[in-house]
């Protein structure tokens, strides 16, 4: 399959959210203009994004909301549940372990890990924090697929290699550092301070 | 000043992190190739990104680490502290209020707000959760500049308008929805479930 840009995949998620809202309101069809307005893009871009995955909609009639919703869910791999392990039981890790927004999209946190003996054994939302060293052995039991890394920057690369060795094929990285992993492992990064720096940049350059 | 793309600003933040690491290790100069390797881009892109802001470095000698570090900090508005208000004292909001990664970059959380009476008055890290209705009146006392929105999707637009009315000029949005705000207000969005969907997309399409 052709390599699709991350930005395209991100827009598919945004379209899907809008479609789900339209579906709840009982709308039968939607135009590329409406999807574009919600996704902050153009209708030409909407048509191009969807064209990678097949032929959707009819000229002049728009897209069927139930059909496109179902197709996008399938394309994004949301037709099933995914098992997630949180690595790092600090403030951010624990908040993520309890985050309803994950579960409601089919991402189920099945394990929380830390290497700090003071955190191992503590309980959060019915889950006991487990020691990082037991991760590889746990894989057979829990079969997690996505690792969420919420560890300090200086530990992130080493922890990432442990996660890869344990067999994870996807990492959501919250540590403010670039991870180097084998090409078969997918990584997405969320850098909270970096987003704030984007705002401080804009505030500074407005007031100049 | 010319409008600079968000992606450029994001790369400046990444370069700055690498420069700060180089500075700690006492390196006097750095090449655009080294910055590029760390930022996941090309040396031509590094030179282009920096060229928007002035003339840096010398051909064949690279960039002075202390000078470029200082310039990037200035460009990104990090030469000063910024006051941040967290709006929404749920799990994510409270984790963000206590997140060390903000403070260490000069972003100081000065207030936490919620509209839920059960949360108002509770204390976190020395801060008392305040009622959302007091935000406008608080502005004179706290003078916060950046609002971090950690509220449910269905409440986000209304809360955002309240934040704008109170005088904030920048919003970091964690709600999984597109905010509509006046053009003079800067918005960055972090959508955690959407990043996980990018991973489920990749996992699904690898195994096909």
Query: A171 to chain B: nearest residue by CA?
Result: B199
Place of tokens 């991350």: A6
Q: Are A36 and A45 in contact (CB under 8 A)?
A: yes
- Would you call A6 an interface residue with chain B, using a CB distance cutoff of 8 Å? yes
Chain centre distance of CA B52: 21
Asked if A53 and A68 sit in the same domain, the reply is yes
pLDDT of residue B1: 53
> What domain count does chain B have?
2
Q: Which range among A119-128, A157-166, B22-31, B56-65 has the greatest average pLDDT?
A: A157-166
Gyration radius (Cα) of chain A, Å:
20
- What digits encode the pLDDT tens for the residues B61-107? 899 999 999 999 999 999 899 999 999 998 889 888 888 778 888 99
Asked if B68 and B86 sit in the same domain, the reply is no
Q: Residues in chain B, how many? A: 208
Asked if B66 and B87 sit in the same domain, the reply is no
Please report whether residue B47 resides in a domain.
yes
Separation in Å, CA A79 to CA A69, A85, B24: 11, 20, 47
- What digits encode the pLDDT tens for the residues A10-27? 889 989 988 988 888 888
Strand runs labelled E in B61-118: 63-64, 82-87, 107-114
Domain extent for B40? 6-75
pLDDT of residue B95: 86
Q: Are B149 and B141 in contact (CB under 8 A)?
A: no
The pLDDT of residue A1 is above 60? no
The pLDDT of residue A44 is above 90? yes
pLDDT of residue A161: 96
- A-B contacts (CB, under 8 Å): 180
The pLDDT of residue A208 is above 70? no
How many CA atoms does the CB half-sphere of A98 hold within 13 Å?
A: 18
Please report whether residue A143 resides in a domain.
yes
Query: A89 to chain B: nearest residue by CA?
Result: B95
Asked if A105 and A146 sit in the same domain, the reply is yes
Which of B15, B101, B170 has the most A C-beta neighbours within 10 Å, making it the best mutation to test the interface with A?
B101
Residues of A in contact with B198 (CB under 8 A): 6, 9-10, 13, 186, 188
Determine phi and psi for A8, rounding to 5 degrees.
-65, -45
As a whole number of angstroms, the distance between CA A117 and CA A109 comes to 21
State which of A75, A95, A129 marks the end of a domain.
Answer: A75
- What digits encode the pLDDT tens for the residues A156-182? 999 999 999 999 999 999 987 778 999
Structure tokens at B84: 């941040």
Mean pLDDT within B150-164? 93
Burial environment of residue A129 by CB neighbours within 10 A (0 to 12, 13 to 18, 19 or more): buried
Taking CB atoms and an 8 Å limit, are B170 and A199 in contact across chains? yes
Calculate how close chain A gets to B64, using CA atoms only, in Å: 22
Kind plus residue range of the DSSP H or E element containing B13: helix B6-24
Does residue A177 or residue B133 have the better pLDDT?
B133
pLDDT above 90 covers a percentage of chain B that reads: 59
pLDDT of residue B208: 45
The pLDDT of residue B131 is above 70? yes
Please report whether residue B103 resides in a domain.
yes
Does residue A37 or residue B76 have the better pLDDT?
B76
User: Which of B 90-109 lie inside 8 A of A, CB atoms?
Assistant: 91-92, 94-96, 98-99, 101-102, 104-107
Separation in Å, CA B82 to CA A208, B53, B85: 16, 22, 10
As a whole number of angstroms, the distance between CA A27 and CA A20 comes to 10
Chain centre distance of CA B114: 21
Taking each continuous run of H as one helix and of E as one strand, the counts in chain B are: 9, 9
pLDDT of residue B77: 94
Query: Please, what sign has the CA dihedral across residues B4, B199, A89, B152?
Result: positive
The pLDDT of residue B151 is above 70? yes
Query: A72 to chain B: nearest residue by CA?
Result: B201
Mean pLDDT within A59-70? 91
Calculate how close chain A gets to B153, using CA atoms only, in Å: 10
pLDDT of residue B207: 54
Asked if A17 and A94 sit in the same domain, the reply is no
Asked if B104 and B56 sit in the same domain, the reply is no
Please report whether residue A89 resides in a domain.
yes
pLDDT of residue A207: 54
Query: A76 to chain B: nearest residue by CA?
Result: B201
How does the average pLDDT of chain A come out, rounded? 89
Please report whether residue B179 resides in a domain.
yes
As a whole number of angstroms, the distance between CA B32 and CA B12 comes to 12
Termini Cα distance of chain B: 48
Asked if A116 and A176 sit in the same domain, the reply is yes
Mean pLDDT within A51-59? 87
Taking each continuous run of H as one helix and of E as one strand, the counts in chain A are: 9, 9
Calculate how close chain B gets to A195, using CA atoms only, in Å: 6
Q: Are A196 and B107 in contact (CB under 8 A)?
A: yes
Calculate how close chain B gets to A77, using CA atoms only, in Å: 5
Asked if A109 and A179 sit in the same domain, the reply is yes
Calculate how close chain B gets to A103, using CA atoms only, in Å: 9
pLDDT of residue A119: 94
Please report whether residue A94 resides in a domain.
yes
- Would you call A125 an interface residue with chain B, using a CB distance cutoff of 8 Å? no
ipTM: 0.88
Angle among Cα A141, A147, A149 to the nearest 5 degrees reads 135
Task: Please report which confidence band the pLDDT of residue A129 belongs to, taking 50, 70 and 90 as the band edges.
Answer: very high
Please report whether residue B202 resides in a domain.
no
pLDDT of residue A203: 92
């Amino acid at each position: 399959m052709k390599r699709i840009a991350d930005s395209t995949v991100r827009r598919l998620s945004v379209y899907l959210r809008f479609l789900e809202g339209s579906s709840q309101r009982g709308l039968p069809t939607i135009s590329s203009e409406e999807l574009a307005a919600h996704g902050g893009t153009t209708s030409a871009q909407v048509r191009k994004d969807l064209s990678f995955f097949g032929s959707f909609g009819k000229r002049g009639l728009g897209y069927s909301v139930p059909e496109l919703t179902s197709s996008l869910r399938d394309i994004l791999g949301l037709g099933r549940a995914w098992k997630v392990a949180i690595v790092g039981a600090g403030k951010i890790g624990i908040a993520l372990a309890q985050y309803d927004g994950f579960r409601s999209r089919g991402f189920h946190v099945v394990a929380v890990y830390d290497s700090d003996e003071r955190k191992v054994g503590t309980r959060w939302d019915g889950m006991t924090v487990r020691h990082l060293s037991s991760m590889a052995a746990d894989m057979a039991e829990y079969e997690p697929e996505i690792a969420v890394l919420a560890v300090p920057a200086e530990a992130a690369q080493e922890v990432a290699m442990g996660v890869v060795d344990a067999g994870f094929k996807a990492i959501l990285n919250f540590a403010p550092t670039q991870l180097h992993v084998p090409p078969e492992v997918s990584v997405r990064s969320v850098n909270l301070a970096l987003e704030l720096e984007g705002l401080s940049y804009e505030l500074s350059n407005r007031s100049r």
